[in-house]
Amino acid sequence: MPLLKFSDVPGLREAIKRENDIRDASFLDINANICGVEIRQMTPRDLLILDGIGNPLMSGGLPSPAQLADFLWKLSPRYLEGHSVRRFLFARSIRHLNYIEAVRACLNYIEDTFQDSPPSSGVSSMPYAGWCAHLICNLSSNPAEAEKVILNTPLKRLFQYLKVLRRKNDPDSTTHNPSDKVKGDYLRLLNARQQLVNVLKRRAN
């Protein structure tokens, strides 16, 4: 079986289409919808703030209702820093939000945002600069000039740029996609089947 076909792996075609749709949509500035509440695409600046204030959603945890409201407010297209009246009106408008559904939608939103983020090689080194500095320097030859633009560009786009640049610099570099999970499950099934066949063969002999 040399070439892998979509029909060989159940769900692979759908998974690839989904990840491609998320990539394309990121270039159209389409807002996400969290149970009827519109939020922008997350930028490095948003990530710095949300991670900095320790919002549990950023680490896959469960937020308090106030933290959930804060997450939605900071990413709201109506967000204005230090504007307490707007914030109060926003909080009032979302007070009937279904907590479970909203948290689930926020976690999906974060997962989609990071679908093309760089993988881990398991090799850690002493940090000598912040992740934003690495991001900006990788994407621009003039960091000081590009800084503002990059910090306000959706992460979904920046991660795609990083992937393309990496492949451009090293054509044999590995790339990860969410659809790898579907292929991985298929691979593990094949291996388990092979092991079972080997056991049965040994018993038969």
Partner 1 sequence: MSDIINDNGVVGFTRQVTLSTAGPTILDDFKLDLGSNAEFERTNHKSKTTGFAQAKGILKGTATAQLSSAAVDPQTFWGQTFTEAEGTFVIIAPIGRAETKSGETKATITFRQTTGSVVLS
- Quote the least distance from Cβ 54 to partner 1, whole Å: 23
Which C-beta is closer to partner 1: that of 86 or that of 166?
Answer: 166
Which C-beta is closer to partner 1: that of 125 or that of 174?
Answer: 174
37: Cα within 13 Å, side-chain hemisphere: 30
Tokens 């691979």 belong to residue: 187
How far apart, in whole angstroms, are the C-alpha atoms of residue 121 and residue 123? 5
Which C-beta is closer to partner 1: that of 74 or that of 156?
Answer: 156
15-34 binders of partner 1 (CB under 8 A):
16-17, 20-21, 24-25
Neighbours of 69 (CB within 10 A): 19
Q: Which residues pair with 37 in a beta bridge?
A: 34
How far apart, in whole angstroms, are the C-alpha atoms of residue 94 and residue 21? 28
Which C-beta is closer to partner 1: that of 53 or that of 165?
Answer: 165
**Residue in 111, 31, 112, 106 with CA at minimum distance from that of residue 67:** 106
Which C-beta is closer to partner 1: that of 83 or that of 193?
Answer: 193
Return the residue of 95, 168, 172, 205 that touches partner 1, per CB under 8 A: 172
- Quote the least distance from Cβ 60 to partner 1, whole Å: 12
The site string for partner 1 over 174-203 (x = CB under 8 A, - otherwise) reads xxx-x-xx-xx-xxx-xx--xx--------
State yes or no: residue 64 binds partner 1 (CB under 8 A): no
Q: Compute the Cα dihedral for 166, 169, 174, 175 and give only its sign.
A: positive
Neighbours of 109 (CB within 10 A): 18
Interface residues with partner 1 (CB under 8 A)?
Answer: 1-8, 12-13, 16-17, 20-21, 24-25, 117-123, 172-176, 178, 180-181, 183-184, 186-188, 190-191, 194-195
